[in-house]
Chain A
Amino acid sequence: MKKILQVTLGIVTSVGGFLEIGSVTTAAQAGAAFGYELLWAILLGTLCLIFLVEMSGRLSAVSKHTIVAAMRERFGFPFFFIVLVGMTLVAFLVLIAELGGIGFSLQLLTGIGFPWWAIPVSLLVWLLMWKGTFGLIENGASLLGLVTISFVVAAIKLHPDWSGVAAGLAPTMPQSDKAHYGFIAVSILGASISPYLMYFYSSGAIEDKWDESYVGVNRFIAGFGMTFGGFLSMAVLIVAALALQPRGIQVDTFDQSALSMTTALPRWGFYLFAISMLFACFGAALEISLAIAYFFAQGFGWNWSEDLEPSKDARFAFVYTIIILIAAVPLVFGIDPLKVTIMSMALTAATLPLAIIPFLFLMNDPVYMGKHRNGWIGNSVVAIIIVISFVLAVISIPLQIIGG
């Protein structure tokens, strides 16, 4: 029973993955531009993530190694280093966007421009990592992230045409603006299937001291967690489809997406949007900073744990300190977090194969997985995800140029 409470790891992973500024922006853009037609992209992203996250957890629980550690050991230092560079660059961009998202949310609530929030927000994120434990971050971020359920409430209150919603779950070709449609679809997938989620979840399983007995409950945690996030993301799309699309409002700025909740929830909608984004981006910023620091520490073999005092895992603490510090700089100079978000989504899609391909080998390696190796279903799904990731990798950048 106590193991079920570990569902907070699933929730925090998915809130940080599905409800951060990139996912909310792309879901809102999708709803405002194409109504329900892009729900299938969120569904596809959710399904892929359920499998990938479940495998990440299973690998850690059974082998007591994180994905990164297993990747270094199995594929060697050169391969690890290439993935490190690619993953760090992309995750760093997403971190800038998330810190900007926190700043944007505070701008909505206070009117004070987001560049002014860059330093206090970064300091707060850093302080939580410096003094907090993994349990505090995991449970705190997922509890606070529950306020995002307001998106589901808003969606239901707007009385969507449920048959239209169901139709949107199947892929269709749009009548017009195909490049823009394709670009948003790729961005949604790039926003949801973020490799840093897998690295974070796998490390979290080790931080929470999972063992083989967690294999069963891991399926529930990954399934429930990612479904939760996926539903919330769909709710954001539906709200935008009903509140913004009829008015012809495109989502070019964060300010515009804030309007979406005011139709369904006149009194509190605006504030719920701002607070939801605040907590979701906060959780995401913590998750990404940790994921990058975990990547370095696990790959190079340093001491690491959020539960250790910084002096006991000095290099690990040094990495997250430096990246948070550097990430704040562009924001202070007023770089638009939304533009950074859009670029990072396309780049995530472009670098996905690097993260997913090692998985196919690791999940079938008897040294790491023992009797818990992937079955034919798991391997088929990973193979399909690899094909999807190659397609995304090839088309994401041209689509960004043509349809972005």
Chain B
Amino acid sequence: MRLERLFVFPILFCLGCKPPTPAEQMDSMLSWLATARMTGDGWLRHTTPDTYSRQTLELSSERIGQIASDLLKSPPSEVDTATLDTLFTRSRIRVKAMARLIAAKNAPDFGRQLDSLDADEKLVKQLADSIEHRQ
């Protein structure tokens, strides 16, 4: 019985994976934006090393892009799709730019991008709250 379960598991896992809800996707998006912000903060304060910070920002940008693309396939009705798309694209590009600024060791421009990312994150949070509120 136990051994059968070990073999059945991978099949069940593939068939039964529950797709995330829009609210969950927005939480994921916020998580990666916050990761980018915390990493960026850490780099400016020298609490995280260059290579790790750059790689984590690149990863965050990638994940933001992935979540955005999944979310926009079946967007929530409560929010304007074009707004979401613009906001997500802007964040993704911004985080990617921040990674390049680390490579260039350009702290002043990096700081400005970080502040803008903070504003982006707040906007996404407002949109996420409106989706959650109406569900």
Contact A401 B52 (CB under 8 A): no
Q: Check A85 against B27 for contact (C-beta < 8 Å).
A: no
Stretch at the interface among A61-69, A195-203, A219-227, A245-253: A245-253
| B51 in contact (CB, < 8 A) | yes
**Residue of B with least CB distance to A271:** B49
In contact, A259 and B39 (Cβ under 8 angstroms): yes
5 further A-B contacts with Cβ under 8 Å, apart from A249-B34, A249-B38, A397-B12, are A249-B31, A249-B35, A250-B27, A270-B48, A400-B9
Q: Mark A331-359, 1 if CB is under 8 A from B, else 0.
A: 00000000000010011001101100000
Please tell me if A110 contacts chain B, counting CB pairs below 8 Å.
Answer: yes
Among A111, A248, A250, A266, the one with the most B-chain Cβ atoms within 10 Å of its Cβ is A248
Q: Tell me, in angstroms, the Cα distance from A403 to B42 when the chains sit together.
A: 32
- Given contacts A248-B27, A248-B30, A266 and B45 within 8 Å (CB-CB): yes
24 residue pairs bridging A and B, Cβ less than 8 Å apart:
A86-B3, A89-B6, A111-B51, A247-B34, A248-B30, A249-B38, A252-B63, A255-B56, A255-B59, A256-B35, A259-B38, A259-B42, A259-B48, A262-B38, A269-B47, A270-B42, A270-B47, A350-B2, A351-B2, A354-B2, A393-B2, A401-B12, A401-B17, A401-B18
Given A247-B38, A269-B47, A252 contacting B12 (CB threshold 8 A):
no
Whether, in the assembled complex, A173 has its beta carbon less than 8 Å from a beta carbon of chain B, the answer is: no
**Chain A positions 374 through 393: 1 when the CB is less than 8 Å from some CB of chain B, otherwise 0:** 00000000000000000001
Which residues in A have their C-beta under 8 angstroms from that of B63?
252
A85 touches B3 (CB 8 A): yes
Q: Which residue of A lies closest to B16 (CB)?
A: A401
| Measured CA separation A11–B42 after assembly (Å) | 33
B49 neighbours in A (Cβ, 8 Å)? 270
Q: Report yes or no: A267 in contact with B47, Cβ–Cβ below 8 A.
A: yes
Q: Mark A204-232, 1 if CB is under 8 A from B, else 0.
A: 00000000000000000000000000000
Residue of A nearest to B17 (CB): A401
Q: Within the assembled complex, what's the spacing in Å between the Cα atoms of A82 and B45?
A: 54
Interfacial chain B residues near A256, Cβ < 8 Å: 31, 35, 56
B residues in contact with A247, CB < 8 Å: 34, 37-38
- Asked if A250 and B6 make an inter-chain contact with CB atoms under 8 angstroms apart, the answer reads no
- Chain B residues near A401: list those with CB within 8 A: 12-13, 16-18
Contacts of A353 in B (CB 8 A): 2
In the complex, what's the smallest C-beta–C-beta distance from B56 to chain A, in angstroms?
A: 5
> How many A-B contacts at CB < 8 Å in the complex?
83
B52 touching A270 by the CB < 8 A rule?
yes
Give 1 or 0 for each of B1-31: 1 = CB within 8 Å of chain A CB.
Answer: 0110110010011001110000000011011
- Decide if B6 touches A86 in the complex (CB within 8 Å): yes
- Separation of A82 and B1 alpha carbons in the complex (Å): 11
How far does the alpha carbon of A261 sit from the alpha carbon of B125 in the complex, in Å?
A: 25
Chain B residue contacts of A249, Cβ below 8 A: 31, 34-35, 38
Complexed CA–CA distance, A108 and B56 (Å): 10
- Cβ contact within 8 Å between A86 and B2: yes
Asked whether B130 is an interface residue with its Cβ less than 8 Å from the other chain, the reply is: no
Residues in B lying within 8 Å of A, measured CB to CB: 2-3, 5-6, 9, 12-13, 16-18, 27-28, 30-31, 34-35, 37-39, 42, 45, 47-49, 51-52, 55-56, 59, 63
The residue from B13, B34, B48 contacting A262, defined by CB atoms under 8 A apart:
B48
Q: With A255-B56, A259-B39, A269-B47 as given contacts, are A402 and B31 in contact (CB-CB < 8 Å)? A: no
Within the assembled complex, what's the spacing in Å between the Cα atoms of A248 and B49?
Answer: 23
A21 at the interface (CB under 8 A from B): no
Interface string of A282-308 (1 = CB under 8 A from B): 000000000000000000000000000
The residue of chain B having its C-beta at the shortest distance from the C-beta of A397 within the complex is B9
Q: Which residues of A contact B55 (CB under 8 A)?
A: 111, 255
Q: How far is the CA of A256 from the CA of B28 in the complex (A)?
A: 13
A25, chain B: closest CB distance, angstroms: 15
Instruction: List the A residue with the shortest CB-CB distance to B28.
Output: A250
Note all chain B residues with C-beta closer than 8 A to A354.
Answer: 2
Residue A258, interface by CB 8 Å: yes
Give the shortest distance, in Å, between B109 (CB) and chain A (any CB): 22
Q: Which residues of the other chain, B, contact A82 by a CB distance below 8 angstroms? A: 2-3
B52 touches A258 (CB 8 A): yes
> A270-B42, A347-B9, A402-B18 are known contacts. Are A250 and B31 too (CB-CB below 8 A)?
yes
Residues of A contacting B59 in the complex (Cβ-Cβ under 8 angstroms): 253, 255
Q: Taking CB as reference atom, which chain A residue is nearest B30?
A: A248
Which residues of chain A are near B42, meaning CB under 8 Å? Answer: 259, 262, 270
Task: State whether A400 touches B13 (Cβ < 8 A).
Answer: yes
